[in-house]
Amino acid sequence: MSLPKKVEIVEVGPRDGLQNEANFIPTDEKIAFINAISKTGIKRVETTSFVHPQFVPQMRDAQEVFAGIHQDPSIQYIALIPNEKGYERALASNVQAFSLVVGASETFNLHNVRMGREESIRVLDRIIAKAKGNDSFIRYCIATSFWCPFEGKVDPAIVLEMVKRAEALGVDEIAICDTIGRANPKQVFEIFEKVMAINTQAVISAHFHDTYGLALANVMAALQAGVTRFDASVGGLGGCPFAPGAAGNVATEDVVFMLHEMGIETGIDVSALLSCVKQIQAFTKREFTGHIHKVKALQTT
């Protein structure tokens, strides 16, 4: 088995994890949550989204959250932006790392940002040109890279072409996303093997949801294909408001625990992650999908 010595985790809980929560989580609690994550050893955090509050009400305090967190200079704080207006808002908040999303599925993209895939790509092209002019970090996320809740299985050729187009624009990172958690390890390995063969300058990362309970297996498949950067969410929080049936992200503590058990370094403290789970659990009615926090709870009773 070919395994890397070290893996990087991108914590997406504060944005992707919380965006689907029905009850508004107080801004101060979001700030405290992000500050706690910053003490776990994680070096990259997706903090919020500068999206219109009409569509994602949970993120209506994006400016306040970004202004309120304690920004450790050793940590990259990322904000998701859906369009040019969101980019301008984020720029005004001194955001320096941007996450852009476009769906490989035409129908998903229409639901997500009310634009077809090609139109959305053209908008992102303009944002990338502006952001690179400001020496910003660009994370390019290809949603529904495996399955779409509306169209079914996605043609891998579309994903590969989108990777090549993003690479040509000089983005810093390209995330291949299983937005609805429907991918299987064989499918994951095959797509990532082809993506890695493109030999991009951009770092390739993987983003898995756990709807069908295959997220950790998919992490292993991506590892075997050469991926060493993964998105994860504390507690397994998450879900997409524009992807019916999507469950939470793969739980950060589960991924880190698994990697550590296999001798792979992450630089992350699992105990500190579990404290973050407990901290945010009080503000959500969602059942956490992670496993390690349940095991640890049983061991202390």
Which of these is catalytic: 141, 148, 177, 240? 240
Q: Which residue has the tokens 């070290």?
A: 6
Cα 77 to chain centroid, rounded: 12
Rounded to whole angstroms, the Cα distance separating 219 from 147 reads 17
φ, ψ (nearest 5 deg) of residue 39: -100, 5
Residue 276: active-site member: no
* 234 neighbors 274 (Cβ within 8 angstroms): no
Count of other CB atoms within 10 angstroms of residue 194: 15
* Partner residues linked to 229 by β-bridges: 8
3-state secondary structure of 77: strand
What is the rounded distance in angstroms from the CA atom of residue 8 to the CA atom of residue 232?
Answer: 10
Angstrom distance (rounded) from CA 103 to CA 254: 27
Amino acid 261 reads: E
**Which backbone phi and psi does 3 adopt, to 5 degrees?**
-130, 145
Spatial contact of 279 and 32, defined as CB atoms under 8 Å apart: yes
Query: CA triplet 51, 53, 55: central angle to 5 degrees?
Result: 80
Smallest Cα–Cα separation from 43: which of 83, 10, 66?
A: 10
Q: Residue 97 and residue 46: Cα distance in Å, rounded?
A: 9
Point out the residues that are catalytic.
Answer: 240
